[in-house]
Amino acid sequence: MRELIKMVVVLTVLSAFSGGLLASLRNGTKDKIEYQQLKFVKGPAILDIFKGAANNPLVDRFKIKDGNVERSFFVGKFDDKLDTVAFESYGKGYGGDIGLMVGVNLNTDKILGVGVTTLSETPGVGSRAKTDPDFVAQFAGRPLMETFKVKADGGQVDALSGATVTSRGVAAGMTDAGLIYKRLKPKLEEKLKTFSTKAVKTKQGEQHG
Amino acid sequence: MAKSITQEFVKGLWAEIPPFRLVLGLCPTLAVTKTVQDGIGMGMATTFVLVCSNILVSAMRNMIPSKVRIAAFIIIIATFVTVVELLMQAFTYPLFLSLGIFIPLIVVNCILLGRAEAFASKNGVLYSLADGLGIGIGFTLALASLGAVREVFGSGTFWGTPVFGSSFHPFAFMIQAPGAFVCLGLMLCIMNLVGKK
């Protein structure tokens, strides 16, 4: 009986201690991890979209509730005006979800640029969606609120040769981005009216050393 | 127990170097040695967990009832693995991305539980520290050398910089899974030939 109590006590104390340690460590590193994820996963696509912006879009961001999910929006400052945002949408590819960062101008509703953030497509085939800049470049300048389809399906998107499933996934992701934008545009405009940039142009990554 | 602390440390570097002599911890050894950086990163993460868990297990060895010792060891190891995972995400994110799932998988690495059970639970804190450090550094060296061979032949680079002229065609087989097995087999063979004498 004494042994049983000892076993329970030792394991409980050990678990409680490790739980407490991990919880506090998690709290301590949360912001840093979020920033690192932004910088290395979404960062390249965001900075590419907002090339030449006067602010740091990775720092100037906010969240808007869209039904049950919270979406992050990144704000770009051009000519002293805050009228461009970028956000992420997903399309189903061959090897899983393809993450797309879509930049849009709120005045014209036109696409500023598109970048692929995450994908797990076949290397050398579907992965060209990310490595071939010409593929996503074709979206720039188009109106966002339309249905995107690849040309083989009677649409306007030039597919990657040999990677139709990936191209369809990207087109579906773009269509979804249009729907998100349509849904949230009023909220976005309201938010941008009161939004102010946190920092003047800083070198990428300086914020968190 | 007549061995000195130095002997406990040194044995991990050659006589009991984990992947080559004990043939333990093969999962990360085969999976993350595509490049030297990945090998060293993985080795250092494992070393950190090994040293910390060895110290704690050894310090608590008289408190832990023998019937639940494995459960207690696993809690200790899992805690330190999560610490490493969080720290890597916060400070060396690119390395975390390239090691991926193998960081949380350190928890099931046989070396850790093996050292806790076979050594730390029977020896004092200082000896356990030396043992953990030695085995950990040995593991890092093994991973780094395997990574170096695979990176040089598989991608034609060392630590990211090209070592051959542009005419060199990388031997892509080496950075895939079969290349890892062949490479490890050859290294085991060399180790055995050298050590036989």
Assembly ipTM: 0.79
Where does chain B show beta strands of DSSP type E? 157-158, 161-162
Name residue, tokens 């039904």: A67
Q: Does A7 touch chain B (CB under 8 A)?
A: yes
Domain boundaries, chain B: 5-148
The confidence band for A205, taking pLDDT boundaries of 50, 70 and 90, is very low
Q: What is the pLDDT of residues B81-110, one digit of tens each?
A: 999 999 999 999 889 888 888 899 999 888
The CA radius of gyration of chain A, in Å to the nearest whole number, is 22
**Residues in a beta bridge with A73:** A62
**Pick from B65, B79, B83: CB nearest A7:** B65
Q: Does A18 touch chain B (CB under 8 A)?
A: yes
Touching A: B residues 42-71, CB under 8 Å: 63-65, 67-68, 71
Q: Does B98 touch chain A (CB under 8 A)?
A: no
Q: Does position A198 have pLDDT exceeding 70, yes or no?
A: no
Buried b (16+ CB within 10 A) or exposed e, A25-56: beeebeebbebbebbebbbbbbbbbbeebebb
Q: Does position B148 have pLDDT exceeding 50, yes or no?
A: yes
**Pick from A15, A32, A36: CB nearest B75:** A15
3-state secondary structure of A175: helix
> Phi then psi for B161, rounded to 5 degrees?
-105, 135
Nearest CA in chain B to A6: B65
Q: Does A208 touch chain B (CB under 8 A)?
A: no
Alpha helices per DSSP H over A54-151: 128-131, 133-137
Nearest CA in chain B to A13: B72
Contact B90 A36 (CB under 8 A): yes
* Burial class of residue B8 (count of CB atoms within 10 Å of its CB; 0-12, 13-18, 19+): buried
> For B111-123, what is the mean pLDDT?
91
Instruction: Please tell me the predicted confidence (pLDDT) of residue B52.
Output: 95
Whole-structure pTM value: 0.74
Percent of residues, chain B, with pLDDT higher than 90:
48
